Amino acid sequence: MPRLDPGPELNEAEADQATHQFFAALSGDRDVTFFSDPLEHVRANALLLLFDTEAADAFESYLSRMSSGRVAEWRDLIAGGASSEAFGPLTLQERLDARQVEDALAAGRRQQLINLSVAVVSLLVVVVGATLAWRAFGPGPGRSNAALQFSPVLGTDSPIAVVGGPPVAIAELTVSLSDQVVVRAGPEPVDERVVTEPVDFFTVAPGAVTASLFSFNNRGQLALVGPDGFIDGTCFRVSVVTSDLRPLDTIRTAGCSDGIGREASVTCAGPSALILELTVESGEVELPEGGSGFADGVRIQLIADGRPDYEVATLRGTIAVDPTAEIVVPTFGGSAGDQLVVDLGSGRTGSCQLVDRSSGS
């Protein structure tokens, strides 16, 4: 490679001429485009690609005789600078590739923001959903009382006498036994054995018996009203249940043969009305299978007993009470031997006689 001998500083024209001669020697017989400015000449023809250690060492003899400003320009170019300065101007494809990389990086940043936003929204949905589910299905914060609440009657400790009038029901605590649930026995899936058409083996027609909840002598009572003789040989099963139908107490009448629940204690019996005593706790109750619950409803079933060809054969109704409704169970009164007229509304009335429990009759 050519070198300059030490000497005084060259003027600009002399420096440019010497530099052109140096890079002409460096490029050899390669086809290059001439530019009067040696810096532009090197950039445009990408001559720094040929600038190895030997060339750099030889070019230092040229830089030692240039002005400080020109030396700074050459050292910036040799050091690299922007890619367009070190290796010549970018081609159209290189500019497109660079733009695509920038767009891809921007798209990646946008996708990260979107993913983060989706994750935050999903977390909020989960938290809100869990909160709503807890409010809907949990016992509720600070809840201490069952939905079934009884107004106490003071000074009535006798099991056979209570002050007050005859039973008069309220609509919120009254239901007809009209839901038919019948499933045939057999090995097929349950869905294939469900009977949807009406059957004729119940002792009464669907909806003929109505039930309502009362209080007598500070105890829960379920009144059943139906056609004359409807209780003869009929199996009734009654359960005090939580909001999700987990039983807290279950009783059965004398017409049941399956033995599920305890034998009912009869408060009032007659041809068209039957009143059974229930155990209804006012507070939280521990469940045998684990957990706890509140007495929020009563489920009543009229069972077609003694039918081995059917797995389930019942007429059902459920008295469900909203815990926030603050409905007080109505109270009735009377003494042993009194004949009561039970009014469940809408013309549904029946009569029965209060049982004298002191004598066992």
Q: Which two tokens stand for residue 308?
A: 């081995």
What is the spatial distance between Cα 300 and Cα 204, in angstroms, rounded to a whole number? 15
Helix (H) or strand (E) holding 41: helix 38-44
Tell me the pLDDT tens digit for each residue of 298-353.
999 999 887 888 989 999 999 988 877 777 888 898 888 899 999 998 889 999 99
Neighbours of 6 (CB within 10 A): 8
Q: Is 317 exposed, middle or buried, given 0-12, 13-18 or 19+ CB atoms closer than 10 A?
A: buried
Q: How far apart are CA 342 and CA 225, in angstroms?
A: 8
Judge whether residue 155 has pLDDT over 50. no
For residues 275 and 300, what is the distance between their CA atoms, to the nearest angstrom? 13
Alpha-carbon distance 176 to 178, whole Å? 6
Q: Check residue 65 and report its DSSP letter.
A: T
Q: How far is Cα 14 from Cα 65, in angstroms, rounded to an integer?
A: 10
Q: Strand, helix or coil at 302?
A: strand
What is d(CA 131, CA 138) in angstroms, rounded to the nearest whole number? 10
The CA distance from 191 to 238, in Å, is 26
Residues 6+ apart with CB under 8 A from 280: 146, 148, 150, 220, 240, 249, 295
The whole model's pTM is what?
Answer: 0.57
Q: What is the mean pLDDT of the chain?
A: 83
- Give tens-digit pLDDT for 15-28: 999 999 999 999 88
Reported as a single tens digit per residue, the pLDDT across 74-94 is 998 888 654 444 444 555 555
Domains of the chain, by residue range, sit at 12-86, 149-354
> What span, in angstroms and rounded, lies between the C-alpha atoms of 163 and 127?
52
Question: How does pLDDT run across 161-173, given as a tens digit for each residue?
Answer: 456 788 888 888 9
Cα-based angle 138, 144, 148 (whole degrees, multiple of 5): 90
Is-contact 299 132, C-beta < 8 A? no
β-bridge mates for residue 339, sequence order: 353
Q: Kindly tell me if the per-residue pLDDT of 222 is higher than 60.
A: yes
CA 301: distance to chain centroid?
33
Determine if residue 131 is left, alpha or beta; phi over 0 gives left, psi from -120 to 50 gives alpha, anything else beta. alpha
